[in-house]
Chains A and B, each alone.
Chain A
Amino acid sequence: MMPIAVVAGQEIRAGLRNRWVLATTGLLAALALSLALLGTAPVGAVDADPLAVVVVSLASLSIFLLPLIAMLLSFDTIVGEQERGTLLLLLAYPLARWQVLVGKFLGHTAILAAATMLGYGAAAAALAMRGSIGADAWAAFAAMVATSILLGAVFVALGCLASVAVRERATAAGLAVGIWLFFVLLYDMLLLGILVADQGRAVSAAMLDVLLLFNPTDAYRLFNLSGSEATRLYSGMVGPGEAGRISTVALIAALASWVVLPLAAAIVVFQRREP
């Protein structure tokens, strides 16, 4: 296990040194705070928990932002080392290739986790200072932060896969942006198009559920917008009868497998590569 910790530690140190951690935390905190302080204005005198509103809006923002940050962190993982000429030396050390990948994955995920917790935590703290917040809303917030980190980890793993799949850094960057675009925008549009064209003939509701699990951002969205009583009310996307059709366990399992499978694929590809 030692080499993994050493590699992960070096990634975190590099992240601190080149100010990735600082920039990411700053960006997430700024966005979360502006959503928390300005976004709750329309709530006005209505008896709504401000943190629950923030969970909904932050979750919608995280779907776009966290995957992008994760991709930017990780597309460079292997191909960047190769282009800088440091990969050959690293592999000449007594560590296995899977340890290199897992170590780097853990390092990047730790950077992302720290930035998310600090950034979003700042927003929650700001709201807590202004008024009392219900236990339900705190639970929803904690679940949102945890799944946001998990979503980030999914895209760190996908970025690692992009990084071992190609030979050039620029190609890896393009591939990473392509993956991001596909899951964040295109997949849902395609799905919507299919549903409209199909008019409910071939695609059943159960099949749609499965199709949603095939996209990690959809699993994340379903979990956070319809997962808890506190947020369901404000997300407005859930009609009666279909709420909670996919269990939260299934959603988390889907996200977890979206971490494990790309990472495993990346390891397999990396093992075969000749430096």
Chain B
Amino acid sequence: MKPITVKPIAALGRVTKRYGPVRALENVSFGLAAGEVVALIGHNGAGKTTLIKLILGLIRPSGGCVRVLGEDPAGRRGAAVRRQVGFLPENVAFHAAMTGLELLDFYAGLKGAPKATNREILARVGLADASRRRVGTYSKGMRQRLGLAQALIGEPRLLLLDEPTTGLDPASRLDFYETVGELRKEGTTVLVSTHALAEIEPHADRIAVMHGGRLVAYGTATELRNRAAMPILVRVRVRPCTTDRVLAELGGHPRFESPDARTLLLACEPAAKMPLLERLMQLRTWVEDVEIETPGLDRLYREFGEEAKR
């Protein structure tokens, strides 16, 4: 077996970026390990795109340091770094008079990558049939897929995808995440900034939450959940006229207002979940159904946002 070396693909150390009086990023430390998929979440203007531009070396930090593949991406060896990085910008656009294949050939030329694989890449993103059509005739979804195709040129070690699924229909989104899954298996490091939290959660190894230019949380979904200590929501459906009896039996659990008399909405600490379920099983004669909702990424995100404001 090969020895496993954990070497960061990209690292930001106490990075600050100011635009005049505006602080786009403040004291952000952040690392991307080889082969992981990281979701970067945050509201518009939270600093996600600024972070990606720093990793690409398109802008220089006002303070702190950025290292990608061991080099400064905005320095002299920046071009060598960018050769191994694929980037899909938010609102990707192309020269409308060119065909998909012509554009990939152009971008492959810039990267010094072989043009022979461009057809394969187009087929991979589902554009094989449209490769000889002008990009002006492409739909929004097709342009987005062409955007992903150009990011895949030259087998990059690091992929930076900025809001890749905005404007895509649900089927294209699934295809997109499937491609990300394949890339993860191949060992590519992927950083995806997104608003579509529920979609990215199953595909991301770690989640970075940004708020107002700060990195407010970074870890696996489970870690974030534990840190936020958000209650699990238990929805109990009881038989007619047993609501009060069930409540009296359970006791203690904070209750939310429920839509009708036969539904109980209970908040429950993660640690108290199993005892509660056991108790509900004992009350089977009265309880018809139980649903459990663990807090999704969007609720976690809201929680961290609130925490950052405080």
Contacts and interface: CB of A to CB of B under 8 A. Distances in A.
Interface of A: 2-3, 6-7, 9-10, 13-14, 17-18, 84-86, 88-96, 274-275
B159 to A, nearest CB: 12
A92 B97 contact: no
A233 to B, nearest CB: 47
A94 B89 contact: no
Contact-residue bracket for chain B? 20 to 34
A85 B109 contact: no
Nearest to B19: A274
A18 B87 CA distance: 28
Given A13-B102, A92-B89, A95-B79, A275 B58 contact: yes
B94 interface: yes
A92 B107 CA distance: 11
Contacts of A84: 93, 95
Given A3-B110, A6-B110, A89-B150, A94 B95 contact: no
Contacts, number: 65
Nearest to A85: B93
B85 interface: yes
A93 B53 contact: no
23 contacts: A2-B112, A3-B110, A6-B106, A6-B109, A14-B95, A14-B97, A84-B93, A86-B94, A86-B95, A88-B58, A89-B89, A89-B150, A92-B85, A92-B89, A93-B107, A94-B79, A94-B83, A94-B110, A95-B79, A95-B110, A96-B79, A274-B19, A274-B59
Contacts of A10: 95, 106
A142 B304 CA distance: 72
A15 to B, nearest CB: 10
B69 to A, nearest CB: 12
B112 A91 contact: no
Nearest to A91: B58
Interface of B: 19, 53, 56, 58-59, 78-83, 85, 87, 89, 91-95, 97-98, 102, 106-107, 109-112, 150
A85 B91 contact: yes
Nearest to B109: A6
B79 A17 contact: no
B98 A94 contact: no
Contacts of A274: 19, 58-59
A43 to B, nearest CB: 45
B79 A89 contact: no
A93 B110 contact: yes
A93 B95 contact: no
B131 to A, nearest CB: 16
Contact of B82 (A17, A93, A275): A93
B283 to A, nearest CB: 59
A90 B53 CA distance: 13
B47 to A, nearest CB: 15
Contacts of A91: 56, 58
B87 A92 contact: yes
A7 B109 CA distance: 9
B80 A92 contact: no
Contacts of A14: 95, 97-98
B97 to A, nearest CB: 4
A89 B92 contact: yes
Given A94-B80, A274-B19, 18 more contacts: A2-B112, A6-B109, A10-B95, A10-B106, A14-B97, A17-B98, A84-B93, A86-B95, A88-B58, A89-B87, A89-B89, A92-B56, A92-B58, A94-B81, A94-B82, A95-B79, A275-B53, A275-B59
A267 B79 CA distance: 17
A91 B53 CA distance: 10
Contacts of B81: 94
